[in-house]
Amino acid sequence: MERQSRHPPFVQRLLLVVVLLGASLASSADAPQRLVSLVPLGPVKQEYLERVAQEIQARVDVQVRIEPQRELPEEAFYKPRKRWRAERILDALDAQVPEGAWKVVGVTEAEISTTKGDILDWGIAGLGNIGGTSCVLSAFIYKKHSKTQEVLLRRLGDLAVHEFGHTLGFTHCEVEGCVMADAKGKAVKSADESSGQYCAQCLEKLSPEDRALIKPQP
């Protein structure tokens, strides 16, 4: 025995759309925030970690969790220059992702470097795996060249947004003021000229799912 709906077919379809939309919204609202793990590598000031967390959360709808400190990986140490190879740090972070983490941001005060073109050991402020899980940033350069602590923190926050952007899939951008601009060896100048925001051209590259995570920008 079947019980017929009391509503005509058009109204039935309309009610079905409303029900499905409501279920979709409820599912979205109930979904947990994606987790970004901040991993201190060696001794790192708490205010550095808090600023990095603050800047990422101001732009992306994620939960940020500060993890226990880890030692910098021994295999990343570059003895000739007494600094740490960033690509090997990323390998170590990828090999030990904290439970539940969507992205991993390594933060250090140590000097880091990588290979750039014909230069074997190029000093950098940060490095991120494009579309990958991890990035790493260092306060070393900003500690040397910032006259005040607030200037240092602002620059470090901008760097965090930049390197995190690489993990979202952004490459370097030519749009003036975009936070994804290539520093071209001038990390301090680049941070000072940055708007701190992802430009519209960069955001167009995101999937609809990831774009929905980006918070409205001023």
> For the chain, what are the domain ranges?
33-211
pLDDT mean across residues, the chain: 88
More confident call, 56 vs 28: 56
**Amino acid at position 198, single letter:** Y
Q: How many helices (H) and strands (E) are present in the chain, helices listed first?
A: 8, 9
* Model pLDDT, residue 18: 39
Residue 75 · residue 101 · CB < 8 Å: no
Stretch 90-102: mean pLDDT: 98
Question: What is the secondary structure of 125-193 as a DSSP string?
Answer: SEEE-TTSSEEEEESHHHHHH-SSHHHHHHHHHHHHHHHHHHHHT---B-STT-TTB--TT-HHHHHHH
Element (DSSP H or E) covering residue 113: strand 112-116
27 pLDDT exceeds 60?
no
* Model pLDDT, residue 30: 58
Q: How would residue 31 be classed by pLDDT, with cut points 50, 70 and 90? A: low
182 pLDDT exceeds 90?
yes
176 pLDDT exceeds 90?
yes
* Model pLDDT, residue 10: 43
**Amino acid at position 120, single letter:** L
Burial label for 206, CB within 10 Å (0-12, 13-18, 19+), is middle
* Model pLDDT, residue 32: 80
36 pLDDT exceeds 90?
yes
* Model pLDDT, residue 201: 96
In the CATH hierarchy, which fold is given to the domain comprising 33-211? Collagenase (Catalytic Domain) (3.40.390)
Burial label for 108, CB within 10 Å (0-12, 13-18, 19+), is buried
Q: What does the CA dihedral 60, 102, 96, 124 come to, rounded to 10 degrees?
A: -30
pLDDT in tens, 67-94: 999 999 999 999 999 999 999 999 999 9
Closest CA to 198 of 170, 156, 157, 159: 170
Q: How would residue 153 be classed by pLDDT, with cut points 50, 70 and 90? A: very high
Residue 39 · residue 106 · CB < 8 Å: yes
24 pLDDT exceeds 80?
no
Residue 185 · residue 168 · CB < 8 Å: no
155 pLDDT exceeds 90?
yes
135 pLDDT exceeds 70?
yes
The whole-angstrom separation of Cα 126 and Cα 131 is 15
205 pLDDT exceeds 60?
yes
